[in-house]
Amino acid sequence: MKRRNALAAGVYAFLILCALFTLAPLILALINSFKSNGEILTNVLSLPKTITAENYLRSVSKMHYLQSLGNTVFLAVGGVGLIVLFSALAGWKLCRTKTKLSGFLLSLFVFSMLIPFSSIMIPLYKVVLVLKIKNSLLGLCFVYAGLGVSMAIFLYHGFVKGIPRELEEAAAIDGCSQMQTFFKIVFPMLKPVTATICITNVLWIWNDFLLPLIVISDNRKYTLLLSTNTLFGQYSSDWSAILSALVIAALPVIAFYAIFQKQILKGMTDGAMKG
């Protein structure tokens, strides 16, 4: 019994150390966001001498916080909405269609998840120019949808396997079309995995820096991270404003994840069991 308790205490101690190691950058950013530039450069590990909101007010003004927040929310909602719509339909249809073509298409989507973004970055930029969606937030939503559907289709495909086909057959007998069957019968039953897909993709789009940097050059359409990047100067940087900007950029998505983390775990568990 004592040995088991000692082992459990050791495991918890290790997990606490891992958590502290993971949270250390955020904690340091939060502490230093209240310091002046002189204090940050003197000792980054010290506590601030005085706590004021001056740095945060300056960051909000410099990065046009409300405008950037609105752009980021638009991208997150639009991109995730497109991913859910296309992926749910595709995952359901591929699961219910037992042909070699459907199996090949599913394998193609799974294979595309293995391709690193760096290898398609230049071709993707050329596609953006050809489609004339550069500097378009709506166009960027479709780019996110194209990059995010592969994983979502894979998850939906596995989840649909656990839904009895008889329900769809009964709806067809009652006169429902395929689209009516999907939106009235199938899609409401996909709620757990849909919650997982929504949350994980919101976190991805919110924290993404490279794709908006490639597509968006108009500062009026900058996301929060792009607006934060403007605080870096060529010869000097306002570190107190930068750190406070990073904190206020991260807080909404941290709160979002904290609220919906149970749905993430539930959706992943259900998807694994039914897939």
- Token digits of residue 93: 């249809």
- The confidence score (pLDDT) of residue 236 equals 64
- The confidence score (pLDDT) of residue 64 equals 86
- The confidence score (pLDDT) of residue 56 equals 86
State the angle between helix axes of 54-62 and 65-96 in degrees (0 to 180), rounded to the nearest 10.
70
Q: Model pTM?
A: 0.83
- The confidence score (pLDDT) of residue 268 equals 59
- The confidence score (pLDDT) of residue 172 equals 84
pLDDT in tens, 194-245: 888 888 899 899 989 889 988 998 888 999 888 888 887 666 677 888 888 8
Cα 214 to Cα 66, 121, 189, 230, distances in angstroms: 22, 9, 37, 15
- The confidence score (pLDDT) of residue 71 equals 93
In SS3 terms, 182-204 reads as HHHHHHHHCHHHHHHHHHHHHHH
- Token digits of residue 71: 């752009």
- The confidence score (pLDDT) of residue 275 equals 47
Reduced to 3 states, what is the DSSP secondary structure of residue 150?
helix
Contact in structure between 31 and 48 (CB atoms under 8 Å): yes
Provide block-wise average pLDDT over 10 residues at a time, the chain (275 residues). Answer: 75 88 84 82 80 83 88 94 94 88 88 86 90 91 93 90 85 84 88 86 90 89 88 72 85 80 64 49
Closest of 89, 86, 66 to residue 78, by C-alpha: 86
Number of H helices, E strands in the chain: 14, 0
Instruction: Compute the residue count for the chain.
Output: 275
Domains contained in the chain, CATH given: 66-274 (1.10.3720.10)
Distance CA 245, CA 235 (A): 19
